[in-house]
Structure 1
Amino acid sequence: MERLLEVNDLQVSFQVRDGEVQAVRDVSFHVKKGEAVGIVGESGCGKSVTAQSIMKLIPSPPAVFKGGEILFNGQNLLRYSEKEMQKVRGKEIGMIFQDPMTSLNPTLTIGKQITESLIKHQGMSQKEADLRAIEMLKLVGIPNPDKRLGQYPHEFSGGMRQRAMIAIALACNPSLLIADEPTTALDVTIQAQILRLMKDLQQTLDTSIIMITHDLGVVAELCDRVVVMYAGKVVEEGTIEEIFTRPKHPYTRGLLRSVPRLDQPKDEDLIPIFGTPPDLIKPPVGCAFADRCPEAMKVCKAIDPTFYETSDTQKARCWLLDPMAQEVKSS
């Protein structure tokens, strides 16, 4: 399957009063056409910064792109000017933001916010754009779409606002949809409806999806592959089956142990990941997870591990996968 997006060795920092926050450190991953990829990790691990870097929505300064490339259909978006990016945003890459109440413009009707990109990118007349907007609202499951077109965000419920955000993001039928924590503020019933909707739209429109979330249940429901991030780096990558049944990195195993499961005994406690993430103004020399890892060795704190491939589709950045470590464990 052809790759639609390739992020290679991306490095993004923020200049702050105390120094340079290395928010994204040599991040690499790819998304194939029609594929859904989940990026998971704790708050502050760099997943949202990575997503916004793809859209070039991070103000610079204070952000500084230190290196790497973001290839979309073979073109490096980091070399695009703001004017060139405006032609990409909405038309080729759509984004669903974390909080629809703050992302939607409270002074504009929902219809106006959907038709704006259609008029700009598709060259539609207002009448054509209105018809398309009604079609999109109907597609995302909003009742009475012709009436809702003239309403404002405050007249929508939380779930309907999120559906409206999806309609805006998909109005121009982009080939890539980035969803940044799209279900965080919603109750579980609405979450399930939104995920089912996104899954149906992906199959209907053949849209590639990047799902940014800390909720592993959301990833299991929607995604084909998972990228696990910690302290600004990718620490593991694999298919849904590999990550959920055969995780290789201690951090991934820690995330899975801290999530309740239906097959878990009622009297069995969840096991949290103790400690806090490192300060990215002064990142550790070795593995960033070493201070919190129950399986850490001396080498973990001294040298940052490289990736070890455990299958054609799974790899993890951990010294425990080194052949020498395997020999010690087996002896």
Structure 2
Amino acid sequence: MQQTTPLLEVQNLQVSFKVRDGEVQAVRDVSFHVHAGEAVAIVGESGCGKSVTAQSIMRLLPTPPSFVKNGKLLFKGRDLLRLKEKEMQSIRGKEIGMIFQDPMTSLNPTMTVGKQIAEVLRRHQKVGLHQAKQQAIEMLQLVGIPNAASRYAQYPHEFSGGMRQRAMIAIALACQPALLIADEPTTALDVTIQAQILCVMKDLQHKFNTSIILITHDLGIVADLCDRVIVMYAGKIVETGTKWEIFKNPQHPYTRGLLRSLPRLDQAKDEPLVAIHGTPPDLLKPPAGCGFFARCEHAMQICKEVEPNPTALSESHISRCWKLHPLAKEVVV
């Protein structure tokens, strides 16, 4: 990507939740950027902070129990954390769209799908009822829903799972936002429908020059859709780079573990998948050093005691691991 001013800059974001037993440090000093027209994936297992990061950008987390301890969310130069709720309402849907994980719980069951798309258009573009309806039908056609005019008047329960997800994409992109956040958009869909949804997202990204933040644990989707990859673990970014750098030359043991756990076409039938043993750390009491220490086969004593600094492997490839230190022994992969 050409080095222009990023559309979105997340700077040193820290998000916690107050619970009975203390403070869950869900996101711990996360920084990244997204350029216009770029697709960036945030990957990692459940509980690593992916969705909390995404919902923080949209300011959708309930307060309390959540609170932002530190950081900035610069979108087109404006810090979203400093905006009033009314100002955020003018950004949500218009400038930043979001596709949620489960469309059945995200769509309003009492409103027709068409009216839910038209509502976004009428709110943000100030168009009349007839024009909003026509634009909503066009959006349904764009996301590949057949007989869009008749589908406009149907309710979410009358749509299949894949069609509901297409409808969510239509709502999110109705106002042609500059940034689309997709939180596990293909979860619970079969592989054929997943491929169709990804194709729709890629086509619309190119049509509208929309930037995408894709939250997922499916690295196959990442390889197909995204330009860059951010790997999160225990609320922190442990590695980031282009998709080719992450897939061809992963440097953090956690990233390698994720890739080893995936089935490959060149893999022998009797060759077992390699799981990452153990569980993530308790973020009520985060470890002082590397969060992956207890599960890492290459762990050293310093990994337990001191958090590793980021090591730049190229202009775009950065990893946090003590094994990358010049004094560490070489790791044989």
TM range (shorter): over 0.9
1:55 pairs, out of 55, 58, 61, with 58
Secondary structure of the corresponding residue to residue 324 of structure 1: coil
Seen in structure 2, the aligned counterparts of structure 1 residues 206 and 329 have a Cα distance that, compared at 3 Å, is closer
CA contact (8 A) 2:43 2:230 kept: yes
Partner of 2:300: 297
Partner of 2:103: 100
Q: Which amino acid aligns with 1:65?
A: V
Q: How many Å separate the matches in 2 of 1:45 and 1:122?
A: 37
Counterpart check, 1:322 vs 2:325: yes
Counterpart check, 1:258 vs 2:264: no
Q: How many Å separate the matches in 1 of 2:167 and 2:81?
A: 29
Q: Which amino acid aligns with 1:149?
A: Y
Within-5 A mapping of 1:125-144: 125-144=128-147
Q: How many Å separate the matches in 2 of 1:81 and 1:56?
A: 10
Secondary structure of the corresponding residue to residue 279 of structure 1: coil
Counterpart check, 1:248 vs 2:248: no
Partner of 1:68: 71
Q: Which amino acid aligns with 2:189?
A: L
Aligned alpha-carbon RMSD (Å): 1.0
Q: How many Å separate the matches in 2 of 1:148 and 1:196?
A: 21
Identity percentage over the alignment? Answer: 70
Partner of 2:112: 109
Q: How many Å separate the matches in 2 of 1:323 and 1:84?
A: 48
Within-5 A mapping of 1:6-21: 6-21=9-24
Deviations 1:133-190 (A, max 9, x none): 0000000000011101111000000000000000000000000000000001100000
Secondary structure of the corresponding residue to residue 325 of structure 1: coil
Deviation for aligned residue 1:265? 1.5
Partner of 2:125: 122
Counterpart check, 1:189 vs 2:192: yes
Counterpart check, 1:39 vs 2:52: no
Secondary structure of the corresponding residue to residue 25 of structure 1: strand
Seen in structure 2, the aligned counterparts of structure 1 residues 329 and 192 have a Cα distance that, compared at 3 Å, is closer
Q: How many Å separate the matches in 1 of 2:221 and 2:331?
A: 34
Q: Which amino acid aligns with 2:64?
A: P
1:168 pairs, out of 168, 171, 177, with 171
Partner of 1:205: 208
Moved more, 317-326 or 214-223: 317-326
Q: TM-score, normalised by structure 1?
A: 0.98
How many pairs does the alignment contain? 329
Q: TM-score, normalised by structure 2?
A: 0.98
Seen in structure 2, the aligned counterparts of structure 1 residues 217 and 329 have a Cα distance that, compared at 3 Å, is closer
Q: Which amino acid aligns with 2:59?
A: K
Q: Which amino acid aligns with 2:140?
A: L
Secondary structure of the corresponding residue to residue 66 of structure 1: strand
Deviation for aligned residue 1:329? 6.3
Deviation for aligned residue 1:86? 0.1
Deviations 1:102-127 (A, max 9, x none): 00010011011101111111000010
Counterpart check, 1:275 vs 2:278: yes
CA contact (8 A) 2:298 2:331 kept: no
Q: How many Å separate the matches in 2 of 1:304 and 1:170?
A: 40
Seen in structure 2, the aligned counterparts of structure 1 residues 194 and 329 have a Cα distance that, compared at 3 Å, is closer
CA contact (8 A) 2:281 2:291 kept: yes
Deviation for aligned residue 1:222? 0.3
Q: Give the 4+ runs in structure 1 shifted more than 4 A.
A: none
Q: How many Å separate the matches in 1 of 2:47 and 2:151?
A: 36
Partner of 1:23: 26
